Amino acid sequence: MKTVILAIILVTLSIDALTQGVFSNATNIALEKVIQDYPNRFRNIKGAVLLENAQATNYESSVKIPGSLSCIVSQSNARNREVLSWKADLFTSANFGEARQKYAELFNQIKNTIIKFNGSKPYILTGQYTSPDEARPFHAVVFNMLPATGDLQKVKVEISLEQQGANWKLQLAIYDDREEQFVHVQ
C-alpha cells in the first residue's frame, strides 16, 4: 500500500513539474546565468549568428529558458558604442486573459530573485507590478538590481506584454537601460 501511495505522489509531482513550462525555478536559474555573464558582455552565452545586417547582429543564446519560443543576444552600435542585450520570447496567445495571467506568473516568479556572483554580495531583483489593461497595447515591469553598484548598476530586467496583431506576446529582456533596449534585426 505504501508503494502505491508513493508511486501516486511521484507521478503527481512529475506531471506538475512538466506542466510548469516557462514559469519554474529553471526560469530563475537561466536568468541568473544570463545576468552573471552581463559583465562579459554576454560573450560566454553568444551562440551562432542568426541574422546580421549593418545595424545589428542577432545570436542564438546558449542559455535558454525551458519552454521559451526563442532566446537571443543582440549586438548593435548606438552612438558609437556597442550595445548588447538578451531577450526571450516566452509565450504568445490571442487570449488576453491567458496572456495577463502568464505575465503575472512571470512577475511573481522573478520578483525578489537573488543573483549571486563569485566574490561579491548577492543582488536582488526588485520591481513594481502593474496589472495589464487590454485597452493598452504594451505593458512592462522593469526590475532593478539592488544594491545598485559597480558594473551592474545599469542592468535592467524587463518583462513585457505586447499586442502584436491579434496576439499578445510575453517577453523577458536584459539590457543596460531604456535607451539601449533590445534591437530586433529584421
Instruction: State the DSSP string of 45-78.
Output: TEEEEEEE-SSEEEEEESS--TT-SEEEEEEEEE
- pLDDT, tens digit (0-9, with 9 covering 90-100), for 69-99: 999 999 987 777 788 999 999 999 999 999 9
Contact predicate 102/27, CB 8 Å: no
3-state secondary structure 87-155: EEEEEEECCHHHHHHHHHHHHHHHCCCEECCCCCCCEEEECCCCCCCCCCCEEEEEEEEECCCHHHHHC
In a domain, 53, yes or no: yes
In a domain, 11, yes or no: no
In a domain, 16, yes or no: no
In a domain, 30, yes or no: yes
Cis check: omega of the bond before 66, within 30 degrees of 0: no
User: Mean pLDDT across the chain, nearest whole number?
Assistant: 83
8-state DSSP, 46: E
In a domain, 92, yes or no: yes
* Structural domains of the chain, count: 1
Domain of 169, in residue numbers = 23-180
- pLDDT, tens digit (0-9, with 9 covering 90-100), for 168-182: 999 999 998 645 444
Contact predicate 92/169, CB 8 Å: yes
- CA–CA distance, 153 with 19 (Å, rounded to integer): 35
Q: Is the dihedral of CA 153, 25, 64, 130 positive or negative?
A: negative
In a domain, 17, yes or no: no
In a domain, 68, yes or no: yes
Among residues 181, 122, 183, 120, the alpha carbon closest in space to that of 154 is found at 181
Contact predicate 71/88, CB 8 Å: yes
Q: Stretch 44-52: mean pLDDT, rounded?
A: 95
Q: Quick one: what percent of the chain has pLDDT higher than 70?
A: 81
pTM of the model: 0.80
- pLDDT, tens digit (0-9, with 9 covering 90-100), for 140-156: 999 998 987 777 788 89
